[in-house]
Amino acid sequence: MYKLSLDKRAADAHLCCYYDAIHKALLALVKGNEVRLWHSSYTFDLAKTNECVRSFFSVLLEYDKSKDDSFLTATPDKLMSLVKEYWDFVCSHGWRKDQSPFKECLGLLKRLYSYDRFSQEKKALRFDAKTNELKTICIEDVKDACYNGEVWSPLSFIKSLGVKYCPYCNAETVYSITFDGEDVVKSARSALDHYFPRTEYPFLGISLCNLVPSCTRCNTDIKRNRELNFEMHLNPYSDCFHDAVRFTCRPLDASVAFSVDAVSDEEKFVFDVGPQKDSTASLSSKGLALAEFFKVKEVYNRLFKHEAISYIYKSRLLGSRYYNFVQDVLKENLTEAQIKMLFCDLVDKPQKINRVRLSKLALDMHQMVEEQRKIVKV
């Protein structure tokens, strides 16, 4: 729920595996050459005879001029620009998915930007300019295709993002685990959600800022095959959900307040999602749309209302007497921030939200209590 940031070392490792081969393949297609897949019967030769097909691939090449400007590692804004030009070209030529030449072009793009090759097979690409052949090689054999000493893979990509909990809900784990020993299962990881679906945009199948580590509930159970809209929904690589949206929790009966007896009865409270204070209307709108898309309000009301009430009650306890009491019991000179972190689950910086479960909820409940205290003092 905090903005994801692509690590340059991770981007460089990714480009080592795919950029050169894909760029050279696109160049060959734009020049009107056929492209063959090594050790495969598949050959794409429409570019030799169809100028429109060559123009189609030039649209992709325009967004892939150099490693420093490749859409394999580009921002979502650039990916969206490419998507618009892609559809403008397709629509202006009256192409249809189930008809030639668009059908064949999509088939090549799925092979060229294969997510399965990266995700499951752990293969890199190489292009032989003499024979116009695309070859697959093991990523282990690619120089500099590693991140922090690990072979480049979706596991190392998740680690590079420093995210441990789903950016969409902040409630379930996003994991990247390697097991030692001789077990059959050597590693496990969370799914990488394609923000721009690869079924619609196969050329974005391995673009890193199109891959969002997410939990099973958000990715498989809630999103399913529905499509996010970049102009309507917040993108985790573009904007910060925490800056756009705030969580609140209130008693249904104002006279009940947050007494100990009331805290034990979740049904007396309601959780809500609203715009963050000081946020722009545009950012809040996108954040609220994303929260609605992933049913955040419904999920929290059903599953995490107890935690919300608990955070509120803990925040109400905070004060100079509580801090002095903790210092006295632990016999340690703890800062106020350390005490909040240890006993109230509050992260000291919003940037750590993606690393601590329900920390967005804890921060917002604490802020709500602080605002109420100011009103009472006034």
State the 10-residue block means of pLDDT for the chain, 378 residues long. Answer: 94 96 97 92 94 97 93 96 97 95 96 93 92 94 91 92 94 81 66 93 97 94 91 96 94 68 75 94 97 96 91 83 82 82 85 94 92 70
Query: 106 and 151 in one domain?
Result: yes
The reply to whether 3 falls in a domain is no
Query: 357 and 316 in one domain?
Result: yes
Query: 177 and 319 in one domain?
Result: no
Query: 173 and 272 in one domain?
Result: no
The reply to whether 2 falls in a domain is no
The reply to whether 302 falls in a domain is yes
How high is the pLDDT of residue 263?
63
Query: 262 and 191 in one domain?
Result: no
Phi, psi of 127 (to 5 degrees): -120, 125
Nearest Cα to Cα of residue 230 among 78, 68, 92: 78
How high is the pLDDT of residue 342?
80
Query: 163 and 24 in one domain?
Result: yes
The reply to whether 215 falls in a domain is yes
The reply to whether 317 falls in a domain is yes
How high is the pLDDT of residue 378?
47
The reply to whether 229 falls in a domain is no
The reply to whether 253 falls in a domain is yes
Query: 40 and 103 in one domain?
Result: yes
The reply to whether 345 falls in a domain is yes
Query: 216 and 255 in one domain?
Result: no
Query: 340 and 212 in one domain?
Result: no
Number of structural domains in the chain: 2
Q: What's the domain range around 67?
A: 8-223
Query: 369 and 263 in one domain?
Result: yes
Final residue in a domain of this structure, among 167, 189, 223: 223
How high is the pLDDT of residue 122?
87
